[in-house]
Amino acid sequence: MSVTKNSKSIVLGLISGSFYYIRVSIKNMKKYICPAVTVFLLISVICGCTWLKSYGKLRLQPRREKKVTIQELKDNWHDYTVYYGGYYGVRQPSAVMFDPKKDNRALVGDKWTKVEDQETLSKLISSIQCHKAVYYPRLWRILGPDDQLYGYLFSAFDRVPVVIKVVDDRTMWVYDLPLPAHLHTIPGCGMNLPCASP
pLDDT in tens, 88-102: 777 788 899 999 999
Helix (H, G, I), strand (E, B) or coil at 162: coil
Q: Say if pTM beats, i.e. exceeds, 0.85.
A: no
- Res 69: pLDDT: 93
Residue 175 buriedness (CB in 10 A; 0-12 / 13-18 / 19+): middle
Of 192, 165, 191, the residue nearest 176 (C-alpha): 165
* DSSP strand pairing (106-108 vs 171-174): parallel
Residue pair 187/193 in contact (Cβ under 8 Å)? The answer is yes
φ/ψ of 174, rounded to 5, equals: -105, 115
C-beta separation of 170 from 144 below 8 A: no
Q: What is the pLDDT of residue 30?
A: 57
pLDDT at 153: 94
List of the chain residues with pLDDT < 50 = 1, 48-52, 185, 190-194, 196-198
pLDDT at 114: 94
Q: Residue 54: what pLDDT? A: 86
Q: How far apart are CA 94 and CA 85, in angstroms?
A: 6
> In 3D, which of 163, 196, 9 has the Cα closest to residue 153?
163
